[in-house]
Amino acid sequence: MTPRGWALLTLAGLTVALLVTAALFIPWHRPPAPRADQLAALRDLPAEQVAKGREFRAALRPGSYAALAVGLLIAVALGLTPLGSRLVELVGRPFGGHWIAQAVLGGLAVVLVADLLTLPFAAWRQSVLTRYGLSTNGWNGWAVDLLKSYAVSAVIGAVALFGFYTVIRLAPRWWWAFGAAGAALLVVLLSFVLPVLVEPVFNKFTPMEQGALRTELMSMAARDGVPVRDVLVADASRRTRAVNAYVSGLGPTRRVVVYDTLLSEATPAEVTAVVAHELGHAKDSDVTVGTLTGALGAAAAVVALYLLGSWGLLLRLAGVDSVAHPRAFPLLIALVTVAGLVTTPVQALLSRRVEARADAHALALTGDPVAFESMQRRLGSVNLGDPDPPRWEYLYSASHPSTVERMAAARAYARETAR
C-alpha cells in the first residue's frame, strides 16, 4: 500500500476513535431544564440586570463577528493565494532562504500578520469591557497581557514549527504519520504543562487561606471521592471583575482554581456550589477526555492536511508545488481556520452537554439548589451575561447552558428531590 493509502486508513481509524470516545464519554442525556422553568426564571431576574446583560452582549457582537470574518479573510488571502508563500520567502531571504528560517520565522510571521490585522478588534473589545466596568487592568495591563500571550505563543509555535518541518525533512514520505503522533503528544504535553508553566505567567496563585470555607471545600472533595491536592485562589481581580472557577491539569498537576473575585462577591454556599461543579469535571475526567479528543483531533487534522495537500487546485492557488514545503504553511493555516469555524458548533454542543452534567453533579453533591440558583444569578449579573441569548448564537458558540437553563435545571432538581 502507498503512504497515501495508509494515510486514508489512519484517518478513518482516528475518526472512528474520535466517534467512539465521544459516544462513550460525552453524556447524550441532558438533565431536565424545562423551557417553562426557564421562562419563569427569566421573569424572576431583575429587569435591569437582563437589559444590561443584553445591551453589553449586543455591544460586543459586531466586533466579535467582524474579527471572525476578518480572521477568515486574512487566512484565505494568505493561504489560498500566493501572498502567504511570498511572505514566508521574504522573511527567509536575509538567511539565504534557509529552510529553518522559512519554517520558523516565516511561519511565525504569517501568524503575526493575522494577529496584527485583528488587533483593532481586540482593542475595541477591551474598550467595551472597560466601558461596562468589567475590565479593571487598564490599557497598560491589557498591552502587557497581549505581549505575554504573543511571547508564549511564539515559543510554543517556534518549537512546533521546527519539529514539524524537521520531521518532514527526515521522513519525506511518512512525515504525516510522525506529524500526527507529534501533534497528539503536543496536546497531551500542553495539558500537563500549561497549568504549571503558563498560567503563572498571567496570574498569581495562592493556596486558599485556612478557614471554614476551605475546610468545607476539602471535605466535600473527599466526600466526592475526587483527589484534589489544593484549592488555589487566582488574583483575577487585577484584570477583571468577572467571577469564575475552573479545574485544570491532569493527575498530579490537577487543581481547582477559584478567582479572588468569586470569593469577594459570592457567599460561601455559592462558592461551594461552584467548586462542586468543578469537582464534577474532575470526577467525570472531563479534562482527560478533553485532552484525549484534542489529541485524536490534532492527529486527524495532520493526516487530513496531508491528504488535502495533494490536491493540485489548492497547491496552484497557494502558488506552491508541495504541501510539505514551509512556503505552504499559510495554506495549512487557511485550512485549519476554515475547519475551526465549521466545527465550532459541534465543539460547543459537546461542551454544553459536559457542563450540564457538571451542574447536575453539583446539585447532587451539595443538595442545595437554592445556593446553586443564586450562584447562577450572580454569575450572570457580575459577568453581564445575556441570561437567555439568541438561539442562533447559543447553537453556534455557547460553551455553557444559558443562565436560565441552569436555573431551570436547579428548579427541576428541587422538584424531583422534594417528591
Write the interaction track for Zn ion spanning residues 334-373; mark x where CB under 5 A is met and - where it is not: ---------------------x--x---------------
29 annotated among ligand-binding-site residues: no
Q: Please, what's the b/e burial string for 30-60 (b: 16 or more CB within 10 A of its CB; e: otherwise)?
A: ebebeeebbeebbeebeeebbeebbebbebe
CB of 223 to Zn ion, least distance (A): 19
Rounded Cα distance between 96 and 107, Å, is 16
What number of chain residues touch Zn ion (CB under 5 A)? 2
**Choosing from 265, 278, 286, 388, which is the catalytic residue?**
278
Rounded Cα distance between 406 and 419, Å, is 21
SS (H, E, C) the chain: CCHHHHHHHHHHHHHHHHHHHHHHHCCCCCCCCCHHHHHHHHHHCCHHHHHHHHHHHHHHHHHHHHHHHHHHHHHHHHHCCCHHHHHHHHHHHHHCCCHHHHHHHHHHHHHHHHHHHHHHHHHHHHHHHHHCCCECCHHHHHHHHHHHHHHHHHHHHHHHHHHHHHHHHHCCCCHHHHHHHHHHHHHHHHHHHHHHHHHHHHCCEEECCCCHHHHHHHHHHHHHCCCCCCEEEECHHHCECCCCEEEECCHHHCEEEEEHHHHHHCCHHHHHHHHHHHHHHHHCCHHHHHHHHHHHHHHHHHHHHHHHCCCHHHHHHHCCCCCCCHHHHHHHHHHHHHHHHHHHHHHHHHHHHHHHHHHHHHHHHHCCHHHHHHHHHHHHHHCCCCCCCCHHHHHHHCCCCCHHHHHHHHHHHHHHHHC
230 is known as an active-site residue: no
CB of 359 to Zn ion, least distance (A): 8
**Choosing from 260, 270, 359, 373, which is the catalytic residue?**
359
Q: Which one, 228 or 358, has the nearer CB to Zn ion?
A: 358
388 is known as an active-site residue: no
Rounded Cα distance between 144 and 137, Å, is 10
Q: Which one, 270 or 355, has the nearer CB to Zn ion?
A: 355
Rounded Cα distance between 179 and 187, Å, is 12
400 annotated among ligand-binding-site residues: no
Q: Which one, 221 or 358, has the nearer CB to Zn ion?
A: 358
Q: Which residues in the 64-93 window bind Zn ion by CB under 5 A?
A: none
- DSSP bridge pairs for 245: 258
- DSSP bridge pairs for 206: 233
Find, among 218, 253, 257, 256, the residue nearest to 234 by Cα: 257
Q: Which residues in the 259-298 window bind Zn ion by CB under 5 A?
A: none
Q: Which one, 167 or 276, has the nearer CB to Zn ion?
A: 276
Q: Which one, 325 or 400, has the nearer CB to Zn ion?
A: 400
CB of 95 to Zn ion, least distance (A): 46
| Binding residues vs Zn ion (CB under 5 A) | 355, 358
Show binding-site residues for Zn(2+). 277, 281, 355
Name the residues annotated as catalytic. 278, 359
